[in-house]
Amino acid sequence: MAVMSSNVSAAGRAGLRLLAIHAHPDDESSKGAATMARYADEGVTVKVLTCTGGERGSILNPAMDRPGVVERMHEIRIEEMAHAAEILGVEQEWLGYIDSGLPEGDPLPPLPEGCFALADTEEATAKMVKVFREFRPHVIITYDENGGYPHPDHIKTHAVSVRAWERSGDPDYRPDLGEPWTVQKMYYTHGFIRRRFELLAQAEEEAGHLTAASALERWNDVPDIMPRVTTQIACAPWFVRRDEALRAHATQIDPEGPFFAVSTELQEQVWPTEEFELAASRVPAPVPEDDLFTGVVPD
């Protein structure tokens, strides 16, 4: 179990609710996972809403490239997601859409029929609004207009999340979906910070770990998103849980891959936070912040 925050008791945030919206199983563990684990330990009810089942995910861990895995990918990814949620201490729900895959080529092939990226946006919005009204989150986390990176499912997640943010509290919008619920704050998660990778590579080079430093070179072309960051959450004691949750997605995460190129201990020292952008707020919330719940009024 992770060490508790020094200034918040386990019951100190009881009654608060956080909803993190992600495109695929494993996204929740690579983007803001330590923050979710911290808040869960501090008494917040945290839920992950996963928009697709990740059915079209490739096997990215060589150890999982064995007979029968591809045929059972849907079931396996459900099992992996349940394991990761248990590790993080969060609830999890599926929005119910089919993974769009990541089309590659020139020209790009068309998206597969029936996938999330091609789904009717208003229909998907209604499904998400129903989740909002049932779970009643005070804060939601989603992706920015670029999806964090331009995967079609991530971009669709952004579009649907923003519409649900706008409509959930409107009593005239789909009263059949439940009592209106107004979310107080919406954040974009920014999991890939170029400056973070630069500092980690520098620390590895200084320690003589050139292999790890070179593994971080893949992030050199990541756009500098740091100017958009408004909120940094101190969550280093929860990095171990984050890594365990990542490894739970065994088909997608290679334990010898770049996510684990740098030791957890060094990450805790060099960059002990996770980053978010306050995209919209209905309560006073001066930035910069160090808490997603700054200004939130409990119900």
Binding site residue list for Zn(2+): 24, 27, 154
Cα separation, 115 vs 12, whole angstroms: 41
Q: Number of C-alpha atoms within 13 angstroms, CB side, residue 45? A: 9
Give the full edge-to-edge strand order of the sheet including 273-281: 91-97, 45-52, 17-22, 139-142, 185-190, 273-281, 231-234
Cα separation, 186 vs 165, whole angstroms: 8
**Helix 73-88 crosses helix 33-41 at what angle (to 10 degrees)?**
50
281 token code pair: 């707020």
The stretches of the chain forming alpha helices (DSSP H) are 27-30, 33-41, 73-88, 121-135, 152-167, 194-206, 210-215, 239-248, 264-270
Decide: 52 and 23 in contact? Cβ < 8 Å.
Answer: yes
Give 146's contacts (C-beta < 8 A, 6+ positions apart): 154, 155, 158
Annotation: binding site: 24, 27, 154
Nearest to 216 by CA among 145, 274, 270, 143: 270
